[in-house]
Structure 1
Amino acid sequence: MRYTRVSVGGRAVWGQVGEEDVELLSESPLDATRRQPHIERGPTVIGTVPRAGATWLPVVVPPVFYAVGMNYPRHIEHARAEVPTRPEVGYRANNALTGHGSPIVKPAGVEGRFEAEPELVAVIGRTLRHATYQEAQEGVFGWTIGNDVSARTWQHQDRTFWRSKNSDTFKPMGPWIETDVDALAQTTTLRVNGEVRASFATGDMVFDPFDFIVEMTRHVTLRPGDVLWMGAESTCQLEPGDTVDIEISGIGVLSNPVHSEGNPS
């Protein structure tokens, strides 16, 4: 199944994605994962919108979301960094989230490298604390795609990633959550203006998503709607006027135009 959030009449509505239409749902499919089995019922269909004309929103907006860095061997080698010895995560701000088709806005003050990073994203579907590896696997509701846009000069100037990775529009995510895919058996492809800039095995990670969930839930509680971005093997430069597409086979394509601040074209 493919679930998403779209804007209908100015409000966010969950939907189930078909070949031509998005069926609008009465509630989030994640809500059912919070219920006890004896009172569980799924969302009902309350309408449709054409898929071609949909206004896509970030698939979820978690209070906090988690992000992995330096988790692909080739990225570690390129950065001349040390291979991690245990799974560790960072945090991102939800103000940075934007949806499929929405612009990535390059701030006027950004100079130098302004880059895309194509990432697999796990969407949590159960409350998890002290999870086993099997419970971590069962706790993932589905998978989506993220673009970890980064302003490298700010990243090197600042003590934290507060603006280099968390500025508005720097975290496109979508277009939907795919619940029926072996995400680690797929291929991630990054294109700019239709030209392939990177392609790699999605599952070629130092630690997989379930390793991270096991480690994280020793210390923090994960809840339905939380997300875990899994890092990237490669990055590429973006410029205003570009369109960046991230495809993960078996999931879909996340596409966003790049604009400059103050210039929407």
Structure 2
Amino acid sequence: MRYCRVEVEYRRWWGRVEGEEVLLLTGSPLTGAPEPTGGTVPVAAARFLPPVAPGVFYAVGLNYRGHIEHARAMGHPGAAVPERPEVGYRANNALTGHRDAIVRPADLQGRFEAEGELVAVVGKPLRRAGADEAREAVFGWTIGNDVSAREWQHGDRTLWRAKNSDTFKPMGPWIETEVDPLAQTTEVRVNGELKAAFDTGAMVFDPYEYLAEMSRYLTVHPGDVLWMGADGTCEITAGDTVEVAISGIGALENPVVEDEPIERSRR
């Protein structure tokens, strides 16, 4: 099944994708078995929202050896193969949907980059779980584009704006529940040109190992998401269109635009 969230006439709906149509549903598949309302919207014309509004937004870094080697070659400290699955956090305000614009801040200098990532959507609570239980707790899989402002990433004390500015985390277009995500291929294209491609499953630690380790110390809830990292980055700029495609799941596409200049207040 492919489940999504769409906006129709200013109202938000859960939907199920069937062929070229989205069937609007009575509620969330994460909390029950919703029925079709009878309403539909064409996929081509749908206003897709991020396919889930997560309670907590978890993110993995340096989870592919190729990415680690690249980071080490660029002289970044801490670029080493991790010995255990450790997770970070991102901000929900950064999420945006399929076809929505990625906004490059007007005062940003330096590299502005995209990374294609597999995203696990949790469907059951997890606490002190093993890998098998973690596997059963995953509701489905979607696609993320981890947009980063590199100068801010390396110059600020935290990742508060480098990773978490508004629109820096496109996610979608839907949740696929019937796919083996670790047997797929991830591709990133900018203006139709292939910029990165890698085996999605070639991770240092897989999603189930991460979820099991996380659950030793914190409770993971239905609707939480876990972004799984990338193997390869590509530079983007205003005027580009970036697409992240994962076989068996779909394709997430977003245009890049320049923000309006910021007028800073005076004291």
TM value normalised by structure 2? 0.94
Equivalent runs, 1:1-265 vs 2, <5 Å: 1-32=1-32, 42-46=33-37, 47-80=39-72, 81-262=79-260
Q: Aligned AA for 2:17?
A: V
Q: Offset of 1:11 from its aligned partner?
A: 2.0
1:232 match: secondary structure: coil
**Matched residue pairs, number?**
254
Q: Offset of 1:19 from its aligned partner?
A: 1.2
Q: Which string of whole-angstrom CA distances, capped at 9 and with x for unpartnered residues, describes residues 113-132 of structure 1? A: 10001000000000110111
- Alignment-derived partner of residue 75 in structure 2: none
CA distance, structure 1, for counterparts of residue 107 and residue 182 of structure 2: 37
* Contact 2:20–2:42, Cα closer than 8 Å, also in 1: yes
CA distance, structure 2, for counterparts of residue 64 and residue 14 of structure 1: 20
TM value normalised by structure 1? 0.95
2:226 match: secondary structure: strand
Q: Offset of 1:14 from its aligned partner?
A: 0.3
Q: Which string of whole-angstrom CA distances, capped at 9 and with x for unpartnered residues, describes residues 33-80 of structure 1? A: xxxxxxxxx101111111111000001111320000000000001111
Identity %: 66
Q: Which string of whole-angstrom CA distances, capped at 9 and with x for unpartnered residues, describes residues 149-173 of structure 1? A: 0000011111111000000000000
CA distance, structure 2, for counterparts of residue 253 and residue 43 of structure 1: 25
CA distance, structure 2, for counterparts of residue 74 and residue 21 of structure 1: 38
Q: Aligned AA for 2:9?
A: G
**What is the root-mean-square deviation of aligned Cα atoms in Å?**
0.8
Residue segments in structure 2 that go unaligned for 5+ positions in a row: 73-78, 262-267
TM superposition outliers: structure 1 runs of 4+ over 3 Å: none
Residue segments in structure 1 that go unaligned for 5+ positions in a row: 33-41
2:128 match: secondary structure: coil
2:170 match: secondary structure: strand
Q: Aligned AA for 2:61?
A: G
2:47 match: secondary structure: coil
* Contact 2:55–2:221, Cα closer than 8 Å, also in 1: no
Q: Which string of whole-angstrom CA distances, capped at 9 and with x for unpartnered residues, describes residues 216-252 of structure 1? A: 0001111110000000000000010000000000000
CA distance, structure 2, for counterparts of residue 184 and residue 101 of structure 1: 26
